Structure 1
Amino acid sequence: MAKKQKRNTKGNIITAAWQLFYEQGYDNTTVDEIIASAKTSKGSFYHYFNGKDALLSTLAYLFDEKYEELMENMEESMNSYEKLLFLNQELFTMIENSISIDLLARLLSTQLVTRGEKSLLDRSRLYYRLLSKIILEGQTSGELRTDISVGEIVKAYAICERAFMYDWCISGGEYSLRSYSQRMLPIFLSDFRASRNE
């Protein structure tokens, strides 16, 4: 029970912070406002984070919360290819609707220069575990190629998603991230589908 409470406290801080960042901008949001919005204490905040900047790398945590929610909403009738497209579309919809381009760009830039943990590459994240599960299911059912390992397909998929986000940021959001991915991701993923002749 204590572990769940601990997770909830940290999660509440992260969720509150990113909501405020989106509504009023990162620079205009104070730690005190985050604490008040999360309904927690200053001590709890500083137990998990040494300041506002430390929250930038937690966007990956927010993404994983979204994936946890999506896992419950995926139809069992979906094949692995459809699941991968569904996850991407839902994540990119969330990004367009609740994460500003400036904040996403800050996250990507911190990942480039940080010497510590790179949250986007953390293989223990739910994101990587979920992708691995879906891809393994696809290989087992004969839908996805087996001459490429699960790990390599996961890595390629993750690289593709980061590339879409990166380009969207440097383009200043001049196009819809979700719509562009909806057109292009199926083309990218088609190479990982098993040949019908096999």
Structure 2
Amino acid sequence: MRKSNNQTKSKIVSAAWQLFYDQGFDNTTVDEIIRLSGTSKGSFYHYFESKDSLIGSLAYLFDEKYAELEQQLDYGKNAVDNMLFLTRELCMMIENNIDIELLSRLYAQQLSKRGQKELLDHTRLYYRLLKKLTIQGQERGEITRQKSSAEIVRLYAITERALLYDWCLHGGEYSLTEYAGSVMPLMLSAIRI
């Protein structure tokens, strides 16, 4: 039953983000999301209070990309190189598939939202994967032990969020992927041995 519930929610999220990308957030209705997802109005409102509450699900859409990327990681490589790979691939996905206005709304919502803030949900695959890579890197002597794995993951996440936030502030006027490719190695040089 739980798998079916997760599939229903996933269908709603996938349909919503497809419509948001194709026709814009403001031009998408809940009825269109329900129709495209093949679910019911009751299912929609079971998982989401409104269309606006779907904005936070973008963080989980990122996790779907991380699940795909996790399969491509080479754990024989340096852990920091794997972290840089994740950043590059996510930035490319965002740049090519996520409307910057929706990403901006996510950040605005997270700043003003009470209760759960999806970007800080440490049960997400994003945090678990970064922690796994950090611990692996520390055990193999690739990443400093002067900071805990939790501190390193936090620093990494803060830097990545700053990159995305700045890109939104500038209206996407530069390549997020290229800029992240120059900034993240600098940040990670502080933890790399």
The two structures share one fold, judged by TM-score above 0.5? yes
Structure-2 residue corresponding to 1:55:
54
The CA distance in 1 between the partners of 2:89 and 2:18, in whole Å, is: 18
The CA distance in 1 between the partners of 2:12 and 2:96, in whole Å, is: 20
Matches within 5 A, 1:21-100: 21-100=20-99
The CA distance in 1 between the partners of 2:188 and 2:63, in whole Å, is: 22
In structure 1, runs of 5+ residues without a counterpart are: none
Q: Superposition RMSD on alpha carbons, in Å?
A: 0.8
In structure 2, runs of 5+ residues without a counterpart are: none
Shift of 1:5: 1.3
The CA distance in 2 between the partners of 1:4 and 1:67, in whole Å, is: 19
SS, match of residue 39 in structure 2:
coil
Output one character per residue of 1:36-83: Cα deviation in whole Å (capped at 9) or x when no partner: 111111111111111101101111110111111111111233220111
The CA distance in 1 between the partners of 2:137 and 2:108, in whole Å, is: 33
Q: Is the 8 A contact 1:19 1:98 kept in 2?
A: no
Output one character per residue of 1:1-56: Cα deviation in whole Å (capped at 9) or x when no partner: x2111111101111111111111100000001111111111111111111101101
Q: Is the 8 A contact 1:80 1:138 kept in 2?
A: yes
Structure-1 residue corresponding to 2:137:
138
SS, match of residue 73 in structure 1:
coil
Q: Which amino acid aligns with 1:83?
A: N
The CA distance in 2 between the partners of 1:89 and 1:23, in whole Å, is: 24
Structure-2 residue corresponding to 1:161:
160
2:119 is the counterpart of 1:120: yes
SS, match of residue 115 in structure 1:
coil
The CA distance in 1 between the partners of 2:110 and 2:36, in whole Å, is: 27
Q: Which amino acid aligns with 1:189?
A: L
The CA distance in 1 between the partners of 2:111 and 2:39, in whole Å, is: 31
**Structure 1 length-normalised TM:** 0.95
Q: Which amino acid aligns with 1:25?
A: G
The CA distance in 2 between the partners of 1:133 and 1:111, in whole Å, is: 26
SS, match of residue 77 in structure 2:
coil
Structure-1 residue corresponding to 2:148:
149
Q: Which amino acid aligns with 1:102?
A: E
